[in-house]
Structure 1
């Protein structure tokens, strides 16, 4: 691999006003690449007053859109296209790395506007995606510009192949493992054998994140562990209100922490006895599982294909039947009551997570960059056909 420092442009489709998994992946990939000596610029939707890293260019206000089973905040249209063109022209990038280029946001615009060494990462994993089916005709001709494709998991690769054809190399999401290993437990969140603590992180108002499954399981867990505390972190006032109403008297055993910082998240995961991931679908990877595993929490997760693979088919965590509150409750009771089981899965997890550390993942991404650059005719530049592509694409997307 060449030791030449690269100028890399990363495009994130989703807003940093309400960040999620893809945003964190892009942010951390930029940090990891800069740690290798490369120059990185990130383009992402964000309001002008939203705190963003120094290497990020905010592309303006995003609007919430129902997309692939969630509410995604994206930006699109002629004004956004002008900002993308200016960023591409000024960046003088060796490699342009687009995330979710078929999502109607900045990545799609950049794909229409730019040409040269282009890498694309696909994060979505859905068996049937109406959004992808609708987007594909709009970007079909531009997909030929992509020099190399990455999928964050086998599930994401399968979605790509089934909806758009072609193939991709699987490179997982990354985690700064040692930052979670070193996280200090917080006495507020630490449990005891009689009063264990269980954490959940996710958007509270997205049903597919599984909070309703967890709340339905809590009363059964409390029958065996009446002192158990459930620590729920994440935004979504409507989801919290619905959970409180469902829990009734059992709500006193649940602490809603709201949005928490990265440091608080690491401390929380390093404090609890178990982390529960009750998601019901639409997950391509499961980055929070790796974070919990790194921090030493015993992971209890629904048996989604992506989660099963991250948990090494159940050797690095314990699986329960997706969408089944009774099985979740029984599984949690078993895990909380069996210290030897928790020790076994967390020891296995401490070995498994190393494959997801950014030190490993970054080298895999750089290998793709070098492969693309070896076959490239020049650097990233504006495509002379971009005006026509934009007009056709924006008209087709409207």
Structure 2
């Protein structure tokens, strides 16, 4: 049986790490792959993964996941790159110890680590891409470097949406769009949609400028009927604390009834109590897991495009779409839903049906087949007969 080792550079509970938790857990439960998880630092995700019964290791040695950030500049990025290479060599030994037949890098930093580790362990490296590899997010030079590096070292790509896949230099390498599935579970009854003046609006996600919570607050302030309660559910990571302070000041200045919850391990109670879930990213979202989670919880959803949410929401059928960063469009969409509880109910009912299309068990099934195929190709390419036939042009990997 193929053993797949997944590598993450951080154990903080952010969107990509939670998506990996669900995927690895589903792969383990299906029994089609042996799986293991490696983190380069300790953190909450380590215990969460172990609680799911997944073999989980923390790479020994000091590692700072904030090195080589977009804002660290060329010199800082170069130092971080060298540190990643050093840790990648140690990871290669651990990859061999775990019996890996394929290594899966869960981020751009993990890609650098994995490139060294996979070469040392002589296993193929697959890049599972959770972010659009584009200049509007990473900047021009880092985007170019990542695209070239991915093309040089990865033997296959897993993309979390068509929008993400479109930013990758796939060429003729195997690639699969694998949506970050959700764990459906039983459908839980929820309160009816409230009257306009009692409406509860919720946003779930990290408090970060590109997530657009400031755009939402200004849009809400311009609505004809102000919601009774607004929840901003999410914490700050990666030195984004000043943005929360800006949001708090903005909410006070606009006299909005906003509650900042900070980070919560499970936002489901907030989603089940919300009438409207708003996804308001100002940059194209790679996928938008919270959109699916809100639909599954029975919210009426407003999501921003372009990007992954346009692959989830059918406007007017199971939600509304607006252009990211457009306050006037967002205000108009909020006015439409706040004023019409019957419309909210219709959209939320259809949204629950749509959410079932993103069952994690289906995603895991296709990912297992993909990784097993990558591993088998690698082992076939290492056989003497394959090398001899390839040398004479009669076979291809």
Could you tell me the TM-score, scaled by structure 1's length?
Answer: 0.80
| Distance (Å, rounded) in 2 between the aligned partners of 1:322 and 1:339 | 24
Indicate conservation of the 8 Å contact 1:101/1:107, yes or no.
no
Instruction: Kindly state the Cα deviation for residue 303 of structure 1 after the two structures are TM-superposed.
Output: 2.4
Match of 1:389 in 2: none
Structure 1 CA distance for aligned equivalents of residues 268 and 72 of structure 2: 25
Per the alignment, residue 7 of structure 1 pairs with 3
> In 2 relative to 1, CA 231–279 (structure 1 residues): closer, same or farther, beyond 3 Å?
same
Contact 1:94 1:379 in 2 (8 A): no
Compared with structure 1, are the counterparts of its residues 314 and 105 closer, same or farther at alpha carbon in structure 2 (3 Å cutoff)? farther
What residue in structure 1 maps to residue 325 of structure 2? 323
Measured after TM superposition, the shift of residue 362 of structure 1 is 0.8
Matched length: 360
Change over 3 Å in CA distance of 1:339–1:23 after alignment to 2: same
Aligned pair partner of 2:39 in 41, 44, 51: 44
Query: Does the 8 Å CA contact 2:124/2:378 hold for their aligned counterparts?
Result: yes
Distance verdict in 2 for CA 1:138–1:361, change over 3 Å: closer
User: 1:21 Cα shift?
Assistant: 1.6
Is the contact made by 1:186 and 1:267 (CA closer than 8 Å) also made in structure 2? no
**Shift in Å, 1:121:** 1.8
Retained in 1: the 8 A contact 2:163–2:307?
Answer: yes
**Is 1:64 equivalent to 2:60 in the alignment?**
no
Provide Cα deviations, 1:22-69, integer angstroms capped at 9, x if missing partner: 111211111111111243211123237875322321235323257568
RMSD, aligned α-carbons: 3.2
Which residue in 2 is equivalent to 1:160?
168
Do 1:117 and 1:379's aligned partners in 2 also have CA atoms closer than 8 Å? no
Map 1:223-302 to 2 at 5 A: 223-225=224-226, 227-236=227-236, 237-251=241-255, 253-262=257-266, 265-302=267-304
Q: What does 1:16-27 correspond to in 2, within 5 Å? A: 16=11, 18-27=12-21
Question: 3-state DSSP class of the match of 1:203?
Answer: coil
- CA displacement at 1:238 relative to structure 2: 1.7
CA distance in 2, matches of 1:110, 1:93: 11
Contact 2:178 2:363 in 1 (8 A): yes
Unaligned runs of 5+ in 2: 383-397
Q: 1:365 to 1:194 in 2, by over 3 A?
A: same
2:315 and 2:67 map into 1 onto residues whose CA distance is: 34
Matched, 1:113 2:114: no
Q: Quick one: distance in 2 between partners of 1:123 and 1:115? A: 25
Q: Partners in 2 of 1:235 and 1:93 — Cα distance?
A: 35
Structure-1 residue corresponding to 2:346: 344
Residue 139 of structure 1, CA deviation: 5.7
Q: Is the 8 A contact 1:289 1:299 kept in 2?
A: yes
- Does the Cα contact within 8 Å between 2:107 and 2:128 map onto a contact in 1? yes
Superposed CA deviations along residues 297-319 of structure 1, whole A, max 9, x for unmatched, are: 11111122321111135532111
Between the aligned partners of 1:69 and 1:201, the Cα distance in structure 2 is 25
C-alpha distance in 2 between matches for 1:99 and 1:50: 14
1:28 to 11, 22, 26: 22
**2:196/2:225 contact within 8 Å kept:** no
Specify the SS of the correspondent of 1:160.
coil
1:123 to 114, 125, 130: 130
TM-aligned CA distance change 1:160 to 1:103, over 3 Å: farther
| Alpha carbons 1:230, 1:254 under 8 Å: kept | yes
In 2, Cα distance between the equivalents of 1:11 and 1:94?
14
81 and 210 in structure 1: CA distance in 2 versus 1, 3 angstrom threshold? same
The 3 A distance-change label for structure 1 pair 285 and 278 is same
For 1:377 and 1:165, locate their aligned partners in 2 and report how far apart those are by CA, in whole Å. Answer: 19
- TM-score (normalised: structure 2): 0.80
Unaligned regions of 5+ residues in structure 1, if any?
A: 381-398
Alpha-carbon distance between aligned partners in 2 of 1:345 and 1:69, rounded to the nearest angstrom? 40
Report the CA distance shift for 1:317/1:110 in structure 2 as closer, same or farther (over 3 A): farther
CA–CA distance in structure 1, aligned partners of residues 314 and 174 of structure 2:
24
Higher relative contact order (CA 8 A, sep 6+): 1
User: Is 1:89 aligned with 2:96?
Assistant: yes
The alpha-carbon deviation at position 249 of structure 1 amounts to: 4.6
